[in-house]
């Protein structure tokens, strides 16, 4: 993933959340959340006092590309504790202006069926030959 914002002390808040190996949301509770910028000349990162799972980026004066890395402890509902990490490429550059050029997709939570479908009786017989 890449995020772009302009140089010159612009700020942007962000939120980090746990995901499973397949990228779907996890119900784990995060603690010991920390973030670091690979190059604080490109951008700095500070805790967000309003969001314990987030932070605030501030762009540097000249721009460039650096990595935002986050670490946290994830506690699952069953009490299992795991250390997790995540990273995103941050580009500090003038944000391109112009017309729409593509579609972006954002998916919600996967919802299981209320009543799983059952195959018709005659279809089951055909599949058991």
Domain map (residue ranges) of the chain? 2-94
Q: In angstroms, rounded to a whole number, what is the distance separating the alpha carbons of residues 94 and 5?
A: 7
Q: In angstroms, rounded to a whole number, what is the distance separating the alpha carbons of residues 107 and 19?
A: 13
pLDDT per residue as tens digits for the range 10-58: 999 999 999 998 888 899 999 999 999 999 999 999 999 999 999 999 9
Asked if residues 33 and 52 have their Cβ atoms less than 8 Å apart, the reply is yes
CB atoms within 10 A of CB 71: 15
Does pTM surpass 0.85? no
Q: In angstroms, rounded to a whole number, what is the distance separating the alpha carbons of residues 16 and 86?
A: 9
Q: Phi/psi of residue 10, each to 5°?
A: -70, 150
The architecture CATH gives domain 2-94:
Sandwich (2.60)
Residue with tokens 């599949």: 127
| Mean pLDDT value across the chain | 86
């Amino acid at each position: 993933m890449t995020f772009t914002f302009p140089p010159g002390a612009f700020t942007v808040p962000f939120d980090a959340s746990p995901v499973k190996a397949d990228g779907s949301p996890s119900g784990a509770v995060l603690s010991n959340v920390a973030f670091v910028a690979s190059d604080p000349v490109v951008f700095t990162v500070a805790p967000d006092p309003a969001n314990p799972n987030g932070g605030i980026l501030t762009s540097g004066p000249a721009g460039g590309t650096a990595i935002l890395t986050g670490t946290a402890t994830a506690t699952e509902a069953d009490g299992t504790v795991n250390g997790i990490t995540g990273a995103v490429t941050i580009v500090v550059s003038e944000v391109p202006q112009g017309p729409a050029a593509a579609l972006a997709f954002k998916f919600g939570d996967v919802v299981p069926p209320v009543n799983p479908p059952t195959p018709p009786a005659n279809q089951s017989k055909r599949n058991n030959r």
